[in-house]
Structure 1
Amino acid sequence: MAGIFQQPAFLRLFLSNLVSQVGNKVHRIALLALVNEMYGLVWTGVVISAQLFSRVILGPLLGPLVDRNDRRLIMLYSDLVCVGLVALIPLLGIRSLGALIALTVLVAATDALRYPALNSAVADLVPESSLDQANSLLLLTNRVAEIGFVALAGLLVAGVGFAPAFYLDAFSYLISALYLLRLPALKPKPSPRRRYLTALLEGFGPLWHNRTLRYSVLSITIAALFGSAEAVLGYVLAVKVLKIGVQGFGVMEALTAAGALLGFLWVPHITRRIARERLFLLALMAFGFIYASMGAFPYPIWVGVASFLFGVANAGFIVPMRSILQIAAPPDQRGRILGTFISLTDAAQIGGATLGATLAAMLGITEAMVFCGLAVTAVAIAVTLLGGIPEASAAPTTAKT
């Protein structure tokens, strides 16, 4: 896998993303600390919700900008804008709740531009045969940042306060931008311009008419809805059923993260032997069964093993999913399709937390986990019985933006 770093452009994109992800983890802890300290717990939930819903809403709306402009510049300008926005949070956010919410929403808007541009750029920078390696490494940066820097961010905020943490995050955006400066131009092919609304609506067409995209996005969205319920159910399972407390839940999360790290390293080797589309469905089935098994066999040792396998299976379908979308999406619509995909999965994750709490109240904790896990598996089986996901092939440029 290290061979892909011999491609200088991808190496710069990888380093930019790594620095940005580290800054994001620091930002998350600092934002929670600031809002909770200055405005209280209720407003903490409001600010975080505003951030999440902004990404969900703006992802599809900003997609045409990604497809119409140089993707390198989209990422670069997003980072540079964030340098200023994040630096203003400790200056204005402590004085005005409205200013804090506005700055948070604006940062989320830059994310809604940056992430589709980033994922579109991967397909522009590396050959199709290397997409799984590239996507694995980019996803790996998120996990590494989460494991290695969330705790350090907490120590930083506790030791010196939230303001220096925000300035560190702003500096991380600046470093990320410096790496992006050395990327080649990633301009779209020239095409006649259409009205923005027309271009926006065109981006939804392939998600319905292209069977590969339709089945892939539908499967992953439903899986995200039921799978995200684990964030609530897993915690309650650890505390109330297994009686291992918050520390035990932390161990479960660490095992899941370790499994995901292994999975991200393992998947590129597997896709050399198994088609991406087949691996996606097999891993999704396994993910659901493992998820259900935690509720069916609620014993600490098994739940620990299952948590690790849960992470492996999660990586097993996320990596090929990214590659499938990048290949199957028409190049001139890739930003819109990936922006919509990210928004759908974010929305499903928000709904999953509510779903988990609702099902736990209705069915019981373990029963809810079994139900959610089997629902994920059922989706993968249903798609398989319908003929599976057609092999992704490079889509021609079809739309005018």
Structure 2
Amino acid sequence: MSPEETPTPVDPVEGAGKVAEPVAKRRGWAIDTEPLKNKAFRRLFGGIAATMLGQQMTLVAVPYQVFKVTHSSLLVGVTSMVALIPLIVFGLLGGAIADAMDRRRLMLITSAGSAVTSALLAVQAALPGDGNLVVLWVLTACVSGFAAVNQPTRGAVIPALVGPAGVPGANALSMTVRQAGVIVGPLIAGVLIGTGSLFLCYTVDALGFLVALLLLRGLPALPPGHDAGPLRLGAAVRGVWDGFTFLRTQPVLLMTFVVDICAMLFAWPQAVFPELSATRFAGSENALGWLFAGISIGALLMGLTSGWVSRVDRQGAVVLGAIVAWGLAIIGFGFAPALWLAVFCLAVAGAADMVSAVLRTSMLQLAAPEDMRGRMQGVFIVVVAGGPRLGDLRAGALASATSVGVAMVSGGVIVVLAMVLFAFLVPSFWYFRASRSAR
């Protein structure tokens, strides 16, 4: 079923019997703000905005603290793997749970858990000493587990709130505000870390989740699809299997996961940022903060001019082209001798990734039926968040064995060649058109 033919879902805010008004197609380049006219989406969007700053500060603070304790880029990469295991387990189960219980309630539970975990990170940072690696790993795993359930649940409710035509615009808004947080958060975190204030980094994160809790409480009930069964662990596990069974019947959607895994596995640069800030760019002010912010600078600029993205018809070809641009930018980053050039390359990579992410998310949300949407978002979150963690391990290990330049340049080359290969091996993805898509 094409997006234009998809039935408009009931709007739970406006009440039974009413539907979410279709969002008109915009012709400008400016970001589409029409979804913000929906009161429920404004609350969801506000919750996302409230948590982005603190979350990104924590994502800088944890690897910095691990590197400070261990002086090892490899263990920074291992920390990402510690986060990957609960992300996979709870991301998949969380998507199945989101298809079997009230999604508003699930978002409240996971937001509360995230607030408590961030508060514990703040407590350990306030204690004497640099910290304890095991404690950091345990809390990192908890952060990842709560996020793995919360994020697919948030994604699953978007089509029901804004209607099919509003999905690309709503995704662009959510991703853009996230990128704003990823820019500002690392810069603030870099300043606070430089003054020895890790405690404040984690505290801001905890406070953000408290604000999100207040906003999410105002949402109406968001029940799962009509085919959902009772919430039991066995049913959730079977639901995960059903999700993968459905995905195997959708080769184009499967490829949206494959291309992203490839891009993140071979060309995600974050694990080498602490080493670069302490070596190649040691003489540059707040190098750590600027490196962490670089990708999101480009993503934010692209998001603010993303009005054209919702009009893309050849979505598969544009996704492949965007990922090729990502790979080329990472190659440039690996060679960059100065901080400003490295940040510029990361910004180009971020802009390309923003295009890819918006299109892949929209394809998935519109193609999945309502009672399968949570599980598809669960798989999506595992891929989107798990790929960079695998990439951290690869980059950290290769950088330790050779150099940062080798780790980044080789990965970028592999990504570019892989996208060309995918275009030939899976022509259905290359020729995919949104106007002809079928569910």
TM range (shorter): 0.7 to 0.9
Distance 1:91 1:366 in 2: 37
The equivalent residue for 1:61 is: 93
The alignment status of 1:195 with 2:207, answered yes or no, reads no
Distance 2:104 2:393 in 1: 37
Pairwise CA RMSD: 3.8
Q: Could you tell me which amino acid in structure 2 is paired with residue 17 of structure 1?
A: I
Secondary structure of 2:284 counterpart:
helix
Question: Which segment is superposed worse, 86-95 or 145-154?
Answer: 86-95
Q: 1:186 to 1:378 in 2, by over 3 A?
A: farther
Question: Alignment length, in residue pairs?
Answer: 391
The alignment status of 1:7 with 2:38, answered yes or no, reads yes
Q: Could you tell me which amino acid in structure 2 is paired with residue 4 of structure 1?
A: P
Distance 1:381 1:329 in 2: 27
Q: Could you tell me which amino acid in structure 2 is paired with residue 247 of structure 1?
A: S
Q: 1:205 to 1:293 in 2, by over 3 A?
A: same
The equivalent residue for 1:148 is: 184
Question: Which segment is superposed worse, 342-351 or 320-329?
Answer: 342-351
Runs of 5+ unmatched residues, structure 1: 397-401
Secondary structure of 1:322 counterpart:
helix
Alignment of 1:163-242 (within 5 A): 166-191=202-227, 193=229, 195-228=235-268, 230-232=269-271
Distance 1:213 1:333 in 2: 14
The equivalent residue for 1:287 is: 326
The alignment status of 1:51 with 2:90, answered yes or no, reads no
Q: Could you tell me which amino acid in structure 2 is paired with residue 181 of structure 1?
A: R
Q: Could you tell me which amino acid in structure 2 is paired with residue 227 of structure 1?
A: A
Please point out which of 9, 16, 20 is paired with 2:51: 20
Distance 1:336 1:351 in 2: 22
The equivalent residue for 2:349 is: 310
Distance 1:354 1:172 in 2: 29
2:33 touches 2:173 (CA, 8 Å); kept in 1?
no
Secondary structure of 1:247 counterpart:
coil
Q: % of aligned pairs identical?
A: 24
TM-score, normalising length: structure 2:
0.75
Runs of 5+ unmatched residues, structure 2: 1-31
Secondary structure of 2:221 counterpart:
coil
Distance 1:164 1:3 in 2: 35
1:329 touches 1:394 (CA, 8 Å); kept in 2?
no
Secondary structure of 2:99 counterpart:
helix
Shift of 1:157: 6.6
Alignment of 1:119-138 (within 5 A): 119-138=155-174
Shift of 1:186: 1.9
Shift of 1:150: 3.1
Alignment of 1:341-380 (within 5 A): 341-357=380-396, 359=398, 366=405, 368-380=407-419
Distance 1:320 1:15 in 2: 22
The equivalent residue for 1:109 is: 145
Shift of 1:15: 0.9
Residues 105-135 of structure 1: CA distance to partner in whole angstroms, max 9, x if unpaired? 3333221110110111222222332222211
Q: 1:202 to 1:367 in 2, by over 3 A?
A: same
Distance 1:150 1:294 in 2: 18
Question: Which segment is superposed worse, 386-395 or 308-317?
Answer: 386-395
Shift of 1:317: 0.9
Residues 246-268 of structure 1: CA distance to partner in whole angstroms, max 9, x if unpaired? 63865565554322111112333
Distance 1:162 1:360 in 2: 26
The equivalent residue for 1:399 is: none
Shift of 1:101: 5.4
Distance 1:154 1:29 in 2: 8
1:253 touches 1:307 (CA, 8 Å); kept in 2?
no
Shift of 1:19: 0.6
Q: 1:302 to 1:144 in 2, by over 3 A?
A: closer
Question: Which segment is superposed worse, 170-179 or 261-270?
Answer: 261-270
Alignment of 1:324-335 (within 5 A): 324-335=363-374
More helix by share: 1
Q: Could you tell me which amino acid in structure 1 is paired with residue 256 of structure 2?
A: S
Large movers: runs of 4+ above 6 Å: 32-37, 39-42, 95-100, 157-160, 233-240, 361-364, 393-396
Distance 2:362 2:84 in 1: 25
Question: Which segment is superposed worse, 4-13 or 349-358?
Answer: 349-358
Secondary structure of 2:323 counterpart:
helix
TM-score, normalising length: structure 1:
0.81
Shift of 1:227: 1.9
Question: Which segment is superposed worse, 337-346 or 202-211?
Answer: 337-346
Shift of 1:7: 1.8
Q: 1:145 to 1:298 in 2, by over 3 A?
A: closer
